[in-house]
């Protein structure tokens, strides 16, 4: 070894030792040094990165709060376990009172840097999911908020019914051949085609071929993997995103190129629709309405706004809804008595002439209380997102769970954690029991305040109503037209957490049932579909 090399090694060794000493001193002097959590999480974000990369952080997160139990030996809430350290200066919170403070509509807490890894690295590009500037986010949200209202979306229900018709044809074929199939795959094909119809007035064709189209699902998955992991070290995103886009047809670039192509095509083909009204109730896809809004006031809604709105719809609208649809159907199949109760409710409503045919409408489904409870309970048991909704403590600090958090600390509530909180959802919170939502308005309201399947406050998912429209429309129609059954009733579902917690092994089989025609005659599903 040369003299020069020896000195270089010595120099870097000293730097490493100094860095370790600094980390030890910082951990020892930190005002929240006694907050429990994994040992290595005190000193580095590497523990969190490793935990996220495993793909089961939703389970790890719940397990940490259970390890540091919420109650003391006398069964009295102790505050221990309500706060768990997951990285230096970063904490997972499990407390209903903290939710009010962190996620209220007037909250000064801004989104944490983790979200930056999901954004376009171009500092001039801002979307509603990743924008950390509250004022700019609010202004941009107001531009398109009317398009996401339930009243506006119900006018697009025809697009949903079109996709339901194609899905029914595929399910009828699977029933006729007695094939087993992956439920999540078909729910994602459905959700992707619906969001394509609603956003671009064009189905992508997933349902027609029963497979990924142009590698879009794979591309979206790789994008989510990147975002979840790089978000832990978001300061590396500007550099890494440039390197990723240099790769041939990377997940991010493929999604962007696809969206740009569809918008360009639609812009050229929608000339005859320039006079389409964008008023609520007039129908028309998102893109049709966005183009009209841009034509009316180009400075208020730019072409960049159209792009970010469409790609956000496509990127977020398929995975979240498919995960939720799969959860609803899985929990019904895994709990036959609940399945039978829901079937009875739908059958009775059908018998009384309260349901349309061949498809139950969203408004009709809203009047089925047990159905709504089944949906809500499934979203509680398996919320689509599986990482803490991280926020930065504002200037001046704040008190949460009886502890003072200095400004700049990162805090967040994971929906999986708060949804398992027995002080909120009952001693049987680990069980799928839709009845809990029907027991009393007081209990239901308390649970609603801590229901975070779509986030909370001013940053509640803007696409929430799209997802609820799809779920609320499809589930009762599936239950009425088909009978689903798990291939293995005892098999525990496997999931991969890449921000969205995707089910991987929900294998099932289906058989067709009779549906009622407009004339009141029982016909097969295929006959009803024409």
Other CB atoms within 10 A of residue 146 CB: 14
DSSP, collapsed to helix, strand or coil, labels residue 398 as: strand
Q: In sequence order, what are the beta bridge partners of 497? A: 501
CA dihedral (194, 199, 463, 218) positive or negative: positive
List all residues 6 or more positions away from 7 whose beta carbon is below 8 Å from its beta carbon: none
Angle between helices 216-230 and 251-269 (to 10 degrees): 130
Between CA 300 and CA 162 the distance in angstroms is: 33
Q: What are phi and psi of 68, to 5 degrees?
A: -100, 80
Rounded to the nearest 10 degrees, how much is the dihedral formed by the CA atoms of 131, 133, 134, 138?
-60
- Binding-site residues from annotation for heme: 461
The Cα–Cα gap between 191 and 365 comes to 19
Q: Output the CA torsion sign for 49, 51, 57, 63.
A: negative
**Is-contact 430 382, C-beta < 8 A?**
no
Provide the token pair at 451. 């229901």
Tokens representing 162 are 């079109």
Q: CA 404, CA 527: separation in Å to the nearest integer?
A: 65
> Nearest Cα to 93, choosing from 453, 441, 411, 339?
411
State which H helix or E strand residue 523 sits in. strand 522-524
Strands 507-512 and 181-182, how do they pair? Answer: antiparallel
Rounded (5°) CA angle 365-370-372:
50
* Beta-carbon-side half-sphere exposure of residue 334 (alpha carbons within 13 Å): 18
The alpha carbon dihedral of 94, 98, 99, 102 has a sign of negative
Binding-site residue ranges: 461
Q: Which residues pair with 29 in a beta bridge?
A: none
Which phi-psi region, left, alpha or beta, contains residue 359 (left: φ > 0; alpha: ψ -120 to 50)? beta
Residue 509 and residue 292: Cα distance in Å, rounded?
Answer: 44
Burial class of 322 by CB neighbour count within 10 A (0 to 12, 13 to 18, 19+): buried
CB 523 within 8 A of CB 407: no
């Amino acid at each position: 070894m040369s003299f020069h090399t020896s000195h270089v090694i010595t120099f870097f060794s000293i730097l490493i030792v100094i860095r370790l000493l600094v980390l030890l001193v910082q951990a020892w002097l930190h005002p929240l040094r006694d907050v429990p959590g994994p040992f290595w999480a005190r000193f580095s974000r590497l523990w969190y990165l490793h935990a996220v990369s495993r793909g089961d952080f939703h389970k790890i997160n719940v397990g940490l709060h259970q390890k540091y139990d919420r109650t003391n030996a006398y069964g009295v809430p102790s505050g221990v376990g309500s706060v768990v350290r997951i990285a230096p200066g970063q904490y997972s919170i499990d407390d209903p009172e903290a939710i009010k403070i962190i996620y209220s509509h007037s909250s000064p807490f801004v989104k944490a840097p983790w979200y930056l890894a999901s954004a376009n690295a171009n500092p001039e590009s801002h979307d509603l999911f990743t924008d950390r500037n509250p004022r700019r986010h609010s202004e941009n949200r107001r531009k398109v908020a009317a398009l996401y209202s339930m009243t506006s979306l119900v006018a697009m229900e025809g697009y949903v019914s079109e996709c339901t018709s194609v899905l029914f044809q595929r399910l009828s074929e699977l029933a006729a051949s007695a094939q087993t199939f992956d439920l999540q795959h078909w729910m994602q094909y459905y959700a992707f085609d619906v969001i394509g119809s609603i956003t671009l007035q064009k189905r992508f064709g997933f349902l027609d071929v029963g497979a990924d189209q142009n590698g879009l699902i794979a591309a979206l998955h790789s994008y989510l993997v990147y975002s979840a992991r790089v978000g832990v070290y978001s300061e590396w995103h500007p550099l890494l995103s440039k390197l990723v886009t240099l790769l041939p047809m990377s997940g991010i670039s493929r999604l962007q190129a696809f969206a740009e192509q569809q918008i360009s095509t639609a812009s050229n083909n929608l000339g005859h629709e320039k006079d389409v009204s964008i008023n609520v109730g007039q129908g028309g896809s998102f893109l049709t309405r966005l183009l009209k809004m841009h034509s009316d006031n180009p400075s208020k809604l730019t072409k960049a706004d159209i792009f970010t709105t469409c790609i956000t719809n496509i990127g977020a609208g398929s995975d979240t809804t498919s995960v939720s649809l799969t959860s609803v159907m899985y929990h019904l199949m895994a709990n036959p008595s609940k399945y039978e109760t829901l079937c009875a409710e739908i059958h009775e409503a059908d018998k009384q002439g309260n349901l349309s045919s061949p498809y139950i409408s969203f408004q009709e489904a809203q009047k089925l209380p047990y159905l709504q409870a089944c949906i809500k309970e499934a979203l509680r048991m398996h919320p689509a997102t599986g990482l803490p909704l991280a926020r930065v403590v504002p200037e001046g600090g704040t008190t949460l769970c009886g502890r003072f958090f200095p400004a700049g600390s990162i805090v967040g509530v994971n929906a999986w954690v708060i949804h398992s909180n027995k002080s909120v959802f009952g001693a049987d919170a680990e069980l799928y029991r839709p009845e809990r939502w029907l027991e009393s308005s007081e209990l239901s309201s308390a649970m609603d305040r801590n229901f975070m399947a779509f986030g909370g406050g001013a940053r509640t998912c803007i696409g929430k109503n799209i997802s609820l429209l799809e779920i609320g429309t499809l589930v009762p129609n599936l239950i009425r037209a088909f009978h689903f059954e798990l291939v293995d009733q005892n098999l525990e579902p496997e999931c991969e957490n890449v921000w969205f917690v995707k089910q991987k092994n929900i294998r099932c089989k289906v058989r067709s049932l009779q549906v009622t025609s407009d004339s009141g005659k029982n016909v097969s599903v295929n006959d009803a579909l024409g």
